[in-house]
Chains A and B, each alone.
Chain A
């Protein structure tokens, strides 16, 4: 079903921010449906402004649409006002390009960026007139895929998703679409005509899933059986289809310079969260902070060359007209040739009023110098993330930053004229004690004092402002802290109160995270597939946009869990034993379980592990198991000349 321009106009008149639903943005691609073999909708389970800021969407949209026989269109979670209109008038959720119902596509692929968007995912399927449960779908329904970091613990969504893609989409997606294409072809040949939205799209759904399960990196959850012991823990996870591998291994792009990168991204008509050029300088991060999932599941670090980036920037500016280039990665200060790159870009673009921004910097004077170079007169605030208050705890979490680093960097920043600094911390970390909280307070106050000093000496003109943002630790799959329980909300609240008292200072703004939200994040982050029924219940009770304060309804989640007889605390709070089977044990991020265990042990011993690009291979296993060479700082390759077979 296609929504007409007239109907769209009616809908747009009755919602807030109608620009979210109009489509037709610069560089968006509308193909002729009749000439296409496989049509895929990229579904982002959050609102347009958030989804359009996502680099993965830009990459896959460009990649798939480059191919003649495929097309990709976009769909985002409708804001509650739009959902109400769609439901009231019985219109399906539609894509932005051709304004077709989700169910018209052969493939609907979700990206899982955040646990608290899962009810939106279910809601989008329902609004798109697709049965929400995988087993209820017929050959006339689209194939429902999901990828992104959430796919590394996909179990809570096992009931709803036909197949997950583990790892980097640009490496796998085309292979998936090829296979889907073959199955579509078959049914077309049999019927002598292309499928419509009510006729079969595939010859046989099970056959399709069987073929997909043979693509490395594709995980079909219905092909695995999970059994549970008396105490509710998992006994075993076994494949029940012969084609399903024992372990599904993540796919990675080996050479980022040769990987597809979109130089003609869509330019939204309305302002989105990241409304600028996002230049991906590298992927992965090997600093090895033990709480950080991104630092594990995107290993190893792969850099783009300065030449490639320079060329991409030129084309990006030509095709978008943006006035800001953001150098993105997990930790941009770690890019090998950051200085060279920044200089090059500034030289070429500063005069034209195009700014360069560095969103994720290290805590050192080098970074402050860089920031100063790019920000010139307009100092918008610097962010540092020491994460924990004492050296002891920073060693536990392996955050390689010292007090001295922070003070030196903060002093340099104030002296250079910055008046506002933001500090990120986490509480509820394993082994945390009250000294660590005192340490946090001390650091924040000391940074403020450094600001006051600079102000006295006349280096800072504006009022000193230190923003302290404190989040709550959430244990994540495939990290050394996956076995650690989250602290109970009551304990976290006591800590938050303690910090509020301690940070009472007119120079300091203290922000904290809702413990309820962190709790449900932890439940889903470590959940198994039994949670599926609770998710469905929560959605039926009206849960949507759970990550948005104004819509989050924790009581409904609680009710949903109770009704299906599950205890959320079992998932969030429990200290998991190292020998237990984890819900994601059959999924392989490339980082060895042994390495994670050794890191867990090292954390409890207070021993740090250095970034392998600086201190030599730490045997996380990713390069060997995924068959990659690691490029060290200075361009030297690790394991060069050593045949892969000898390295394992």
Chain B
């Protein structure tokens, strides 16, 4: 048995496939590469494979993570080569590193994410200067909570988007807005970047042109004592 941590990116049209489809894609790639992936027990054996954090459909990811278990020793660079060859258009393997079998799961390690944002403000919002824009951001940030509705199939849920926000840095230039959003990820709440924009609309009066909004997840991190560390480096708790 051995375990590997894999860093990859998801770019272009492939961003439009769901997490479930993505995990099937990795399974098939591993099978084509003839990697001896360990199987789970039971009637429906599955590959021992676990992901860091679900990437919302339609969003590209620069640094995403996945752990894979093989049932016999294998050099990490061989795993990398084998997978690289089998990746479909839009998926790229960056790094593969062997990690201890007992290392905590990615899910429990990763607690922060950064997103790049590129969007536009609706002309009707009547924002004419960056000072005005910044003021509105400040106004929203001065509130302690940002209650927003999350629409779900089984009943809507009110969440506090503010509690998931680590920091925000957006710049306005003639209606075009670019910048970064840093979010907390925890087992009981993972605020989506789009919910942050919604909250800024409600509490800061910034109306976005959602169809012109592009988001990409630039990284997933282990936030520890104020430092954003890569899950490739921080293996243990």
A321–B30 CB distance below 8 A: yes
A19–B17 CB distance below 8 A: yes
Task: Compute how far the CA of A269 lies from the CA of B15 in the bound complex, rounded to whole angstroms.
Answer: 11
Among B86, B89, B90, B211, chain A packs the most CB atoms within 10 A around the CB of B89
Q: Which residues of A contact B31 (CB under 8 A)?
A: 317, 321-323, 352, 354
Task: Compute how far the CA of A320 lies from the CA of B32 in the bound complex, rounded to whole angstroms.
Answer: 7
Q: Taking A26-B88, A270-B21, A353-B39 as contacts, is the C-beta distance between A321 and B13 under 8 angstroms?
A: no
Write the A549-577 contact mask toward B (1 if CB under 8 angstroms, else 0).
00000000000000000000000000000
Q: Cβ of A377 < 8 Å from any Cβ of B?
A: yes
Size category of the binding interface on chain B: 20 to 34
Question: A566: shortest Cβ distance to chain B, in Å?
Answer: 44
Question: A479: shortest Cβ distance to chain B, in Å?
Answer: 40
Q: Which residues of A contact B39 (CB under 8 A)?
A: 353
B16–A323 CB distance below 8 A: no
Q: Which residues of A contact B86 (CB under 8 A)?
A: 321
B34 nearest in chain A by CB position: A318
Interface segment, one of A7-15, A212-220, A607-615: A7-15
Contact of A23 among B13, B18, B21 (CB under 8 A): B13
B29–A321 CB distance below 8 A: yes
B58–A271 CB distance below 8 A: no
Q: Cβ of A348 < 8 Å from any Cβ of B?
A: no
B58–A269 CB distance below 8 A: no
Q: Cβ of B44 < 8 Å from any Cβ of A?
A: yes
Write the A253-289 contact mask toward B (1 if CB under 8 angstroms, else 0).
0000000000000010111000000000000000000
Q: Which residues of A contact B13 (CB under 8 A)?
A: 5, 8-9, 12, 22-24
Q: Cβ of B159 < 8 Å from any Cβ of A?
A: no
Question: B118: shortest Cβ distance to chain A, in Å?
Answer: 13
Q: Cβ of B14 < 8 Å from any Cβ of A?
A: yes
A24–B28 CB distance below 8 A: no
B28–A321 CB distance below 8 A: yes
Task: Compute how far the CA of A322 lies from the CA of B18 in the bound complex, rounded to whole angstroms.
Answer: 18
Task: Compute how far the CA of A325 lies from the CA of B20 in the bound complex, rounded to whole angstroms.
Answer: 21
Q: Which residues of A contact B12 (CB under 8 A)?
A: 5, 24
Q: Which residues of A contact B47 (CB under 8 A)?
A: 353
Write the B149-169 contact mask toward A (1 if CB under 8 angstroms, else 0).
000000000000000000000
Size category of the binding interface on chain A: 20 to 34
Q: Taking A321-B29, A323-B31 as contacts, is the C-beta distance between A18 and B16 under 8 angstroms?
A: yes
Q: Which residues of B contact A323 (CB under 8 A)?
A: 27-28, 31
Question: A494: shortest Cβ distance to chain B, in Å?
Answer: 38
A353–B18 CB distance below 8 A: no
Q: Cβ of B45 < 8 Å from any Cβ of A?
A: yes
Interface residues of B in 39-58 (CB under 8 A from A): 39, 43-45, 47, 57-58
B45–A353 CB distance below 8 A: yes
A25–B43 CB distance below 8 A: no
Task: Compute how far the CA of A267 lies from the CA of B12 in the bound complex, rounded to whole angstroms.
Answer: 18
B58–A12 CB distance below 8 A: yes
B21–A19 CB distance below 8 A: yes
A269–B25 CB distance below 8 A: yes
Q: Cβ of B139 < 8 Å from any Cβ of A?
A: no
Task: Compute how far the CA of A534 lies from the CA of B44 in the bound complex, rounded to whole angstroms.
Answer: 49
A22–B28 CB distance below 8 A: no
Q: Cβ of B24 < 8 Å from any Cβ of A?
A: yes
B28–A269 CB distance below 8 A: no
Question: B38: shortest Cβ distance to chain A, in Å?
Answer: 10
Contact of A24 among B27, B29, B43, B90 (CB under 8 A): B90
Interface residues of B in 2-26 (CB under 8 A from A): 12-14, 16-18, 20-21, 24-25
B43–A377 CB distance below 8 A: yes
Question: B61: shortest Cβ distance to chain A, in Å?
Answer: 16
Q: Which residues of A contact B30 (CB under 8 A)?
A: 321
Q: Cβ of A378 < 8 Å from any Cβ of B?
A: yes
Task: Compute how far the CA of A283 lies from the CA of B58 in the bound complex, rounded to whole angstroms.
Answer: 41
Q: Cβ of A319 < 8 Å from any Cβ of B?
A: yes
Interface residues of B in 98-151 (CB under 8 A from A): none
Contact of A271 among B21, B32, B44, B45 (CB under 8 A): B21
Show the binding face of A for B, using Cβ within 8 Å: 5, 8-10, 12-14, 18-19, 22-26, 267, 269-271, 317-323, 352-354, 376-378
7 intermolecular pairs with C-beta atoms under 8 Å apart: A5-B13, A12-B13, A18-B57, A22-B14, A320-B32, A353-B47, A376-B43
Beyond the given A5-B12, A12-B58, A24-B89, could you list 5 further A-B residue pairs with CB under 8 A, ordered by the A residue number?
A12-B16, A22-B17, A270-B18, A270-B21, A378-B43
Show the binding face of B for A, using Cβ within 8 Å: 12-14, 16-18, 20-21, 24-25, 27-32, 39, 43-45, 47, 57-58, 86, 88-90, 211
- In the A-B complex, the 3 residue pairs with the closest CB atoms: A321-B28, A22-B13, A378-B43
